[in-house]
Amino acid sequence: MLAPCLLILAPSCFGAQSAAANQGKAEIATLRLANGGRLTGELVATYQHALWWHKSKETTYVIFQGAEMAGKGNSLRVISTPAVEAVKTRKQVVPFSYHQYLRMQNVVLERPPLAGVSFVITAHERHHLEEDGYGDFAWDLVKTNQHGQRFQNAGIKNKDYLVWGEKVYLPAAGTVVEVVREGVDNTPGKYPEDAVNNFVGVKLQSGFFLYLLHFQQGSIPEEIKPGKVLPVGSYLGLVGNSGVSLEPHLHMTLMWWDNNPENPRYWSVPMEFHNVHTRKAKEKQSKFHQYVDPDSETWIAAKPFR
């Protein structure tokens, strides 16, 4: 696995922005540890293992300690119970937040992965919280018509779904690390126990990886292979219904690689879209956001829309 790069954070890294412009409120957690120590930092994520497919009573916390930790080349710390005995949280203004760190590293989504207007059918909730820490901050993207319907006819065939066969474009530049392309597309409403996800995994910066899942069988071009460096907007394949998927959609999430020698693994962590427009059902027109993490039942596009 590729190791995260070493970062040296200096005032000049902030470009034209002042220190005040980089301040914002964040949820700060103080963890009392079983060994008698304490750990304080921005609480990026909490994973309740009781919700997982492989259920347990464990809880895992992801902590960002600002420039101090990032400057050592290790942007996040993952720690779980029983090593954590108690947690207290508070909202606090911080000079350097997790999202500001991602922005500095260009770990942001520079465009939606689908052309035109797409719809977030599920964001950071429901079944994503059950996926063993690999999907907590994912988005499931589909297409809808003007009435908000995502399929036509009875919705029993993949081609009934408006997103089926839509072209997928890379939202953030990076290097391909994993590809699976020959998994069979499911019949809507069910998938076999041995279902194979077609996906593309792309290394960004500092231990962060972007994964896009459920591509149509055979649609990922042969030139998309490990080691290939791709710019933003690169064509990746077609939306399908492969793997653990009940209907055609595109699943996308940012992963962070925890190189803990006892349990090295990926964790799904928060990420933002950059310079996009969103709209909720009760809004008459879209709103522009410099940075946004869209929640469920939100339409999103690169340009204004109604």
| Predicted pLDDT of residue 176 | 98
Same domain flag for 223 and 132 = yes
**In terms of residue numbers, what domain contains 263?**
118-301
| Predicted pLDDT of residue 69 | 73
CA distance 239 to 201: 15
SS3 assignment, position 267: strand
**Residue 26 resides in a domain:** yes
Same domain flag for 122 and 240 = yes
Same domain flag for 68 and 92 = yes
| Predicted pLDDT of residue 3 | 30
Same domain flag for 66 and 127 = no
**Residue 281 resides in a domain:** yes
CA distance 277 to 71: 33
Closest CA to 18 of 77, 111, 95, 94: 95
| Predicted pLDDT of residue 23 | 53
**Residue 245 resides in a domain:** yes
For the chain, the domain total comes to: 2
Same domain flag for 161 and 296 = yes
User: What's the maximum distance between 2 C-alpha atoms anywhere in the chain?
Assistant: 61
- What amino acid occupies position 268? S
pLDDT along the chain (306 residues), means of 10: 26 29 77 97 97 96 85 83 97 93 95 98 97 98 95 97 98 98 97 96 95 98 98 98 98 96 94 98 96 98 96
Same domain flag for 96 and 131 = no
Same domain flag for 175 and 251 = yes
| Predicted pLDDT of residue 178 | 98
Q: How close are the terminal C-alpha atoms of the chain, in Å? A: 44
Tokens standing for residue 2: 């590729």
CA distance 273 to 173: 13
| Predicted pLDDT of residue 71 | 65
CATH of residue 172's domain is 2.70.70.10
CA distance 213 to 144: 19
**Is residue 191 within 8 Å of 185, Cβ to Cβ?**
no
Residues facing residue 283 across a β-bridge: none
| Predicted pLDDT of residue 229 | 98
φ, ψ dihedrals at 16, nearest 5°: -80, -10
Tokens standing for residue 267: 């964790």
Predicted TM-score of the model (pTM): 0.90
